[in-house]
Every structure is written in structure tokens, then in C-alpha cells.
Amino acid sequence: MAVVVTGAAGFIGRSVVATLRARGYAVVGIDRRPWDEADGERSIVAELHLPDGGVDDALASADAVLHLAGCPGVRDVTADVGFRRYRDNVLAGERVLSATPATTPVVVTSSSSVYGGSIDGRACREEDVLAPRGGYARSKAALEERCAARRAGGGLVGVVRPFTVVGEGQRPDMAIAGWLAAAQAGRPLRVLGSLDRVRDVTDVRDVAEGIVRAAERGLATTVNLGTGHPRSLRELLAAVAGATATDPTVVVTDAGDDEVPATRADTRRCAELLDLVPRTDLAAVVARQLAASRTPAASAPHPHLELV
């Protein structure tokens, strides 16, 4: 079975490729960045929104397509970010959906940010009316609209919504990675809003497992990938301090309007359709992330630390 993974060089993409490889699947990875190939793995370096015969051939002949490529960064405020989000999250998704045969299973990775946070601590259900805050969340909601259109036209497509993913390979602009680097370098750890804000923190290995199971089972609906048990930012910071054996200074700053107070996944559909409920050992996953980190301890902090 040949599986195409877009965004194969990314944070979640690398874990998905590793999960597929462990199952014995042949993997074709597509990314705009080159990466090291493993035995039996083929890479295509391309821009998904542009015509490319190699990409079209790979999508047309795949047994399954896992679409993870996109423009990340909830708090990115650079001048061209709106254009990049539309190009990479919407146009690229349209191309993948249109170039893949209707009978080929496609799993598209969206984001829990489309919910706009948990209201009064209630778990977000897949059937909830979406209330995306900010440009990133809106671009993911637009991508989901394209998936719904494909499904309405008879195409086999599933959507997964991961909740705050942590683990090895996390991007340096994400909160745990930034806090780990800051703690090692003796810098203060910056927190937005309050230490009592909560996030449904999900191990990247469970997210990868969920995405692969969605393809194997021909998912044709939307599924949350989260634990259902939120953790406070205070707990996250304690895990960072424990992993780095430090006692860092914490600086709390104002949060923007797009900052949600809480996220929490309803896991019932995930359990029913994927036979999976992620379980995150916070101390273990943060320690694992630190051990695998390639970010130098003395690197400068990223200005837009992301904690979806």
C-alpha cells in the first residue's frame, strides 16, 4: 500500500511517516523542504498550489493520501501571512482534493482552533457550529468547507482536528519548545493571559496514530484528536521546569482577542471510529521533546509562541 503524506517534513508529518513506516507501508512524502529519506520512502519537493506532474502522478496512484501540509502559526502577524495562509491552507488543499481520485481515502488535518475554544469548559463536539478566531483558524475552517464539498460530491474524505500537539520535533515557535529553550538558557518563560488557562495537550505520537487509523478505516467524517482532559499552563510550565531541572522565572503578559481561555476535546467519536482515546503523560512527553530537541539552548526566543 502506497501512502502519500503532504507536509512530510513537518512536526506532525514526521511522526506520521514514522508510524506508516513501522506498519510497513510505502511512503511518498511531499513537502516544499527536502528531508532525509528512509528505505522504501520517496520524497517530492514541490509547492502544492502550483502545477506539478510528479505531484499529480503521486496523488492519482496513491492508495491513501494524508494531507498535513499548510501554513502554521496562530500568532503570526507578518505582513504577508494572510496570503500565505490562503495559499498553503486553502489553495493547496483544493489542489490535493481535486487531484486525488474520489474513491481514494483522503485524511485532511485541520485544527481544534476552528472551534474558537471551549465554552464554560464544555468539551468541543465535532457537530458544534464553528467559531474560528483569527486568520489561521478561519483558513482551516475554509479548508474544511472544501472537504465537505468533496464529500458531498461522493469523494472519500475525513477530517481530523488535533488539539495542542506536543512532542519531539515541535516547531520552535510553539510554546513548549520555546519554554524549553528559554529555561535552558536562563531566560524568563513568557505566558499569555493567565497560568490558569487550560489546553487539551495531545502527544504527537497519538495524533499520528489517529491520522493513520483514519486512513486505514476510510474515515468519512470529522474526528477530534485530543485527550478530553485539559491541563493548565501552570502544569505545562511545571513539566518544563522538571524536564530541564530549572526553576525558571515566569512572566505573564496580556493575551490578544484571539486567545481562547480553554480547549477540550470530546473524544467519543474518536473512540468509536478509530478505537483510540489519546492519553498524554505530560512529564514524559516534555522530557522526550527535550531529549529530541535540535534547538540550541542559547537561541533567541520566538516572538509568536504558539499554544493553540
What are 255-298's pLDDT values in tens digits? 877 778 899 999 999 999 999 999 999 999 999 999 998 544 43
Residue type, 219: L
In 204-281, alpha helices (H): 204-216, 233-244, 268-274
* Superfamily of domain 2-163+203-225, CATH level 4: NAD(P)-binding Rossmann-like Domain (3.40.50.720)
CA distance 168 to 285: 8
Any residues with CB less than 8 A from the CB of 51 and at least 6 apart, and which? none
pLDDT tens for 142-199 read 999 999 999 999 999 999 999 999 999 999 999 999 999 999 999 999 998 899 999 9
- Confidence at 300, pLDDT banded by 50, 70, 90: very low
Model's pTM, two decimal places?
Answer: 0.93
The pLDDT score that the predictor gives to residue 305 is 45
Residue 192 grid coordinates: 499569555
pLDDT tens for 109-145 read 999 999 999 988 899 999 999 999 999 999 999 999 9
pLDDT tens for 49-98 read 999 999 999 999 999 999 999 999 887 888 899 999 999 999 999 999 99
Number of other CB atoms surrounding residue 43 within 10 Å? 20
Element (H, E) at 213: helix 204-216
DSSP of 160-184: EEE-SEESTT--TTBHHHHHHHHHH
CA distance 141 to 150: 14
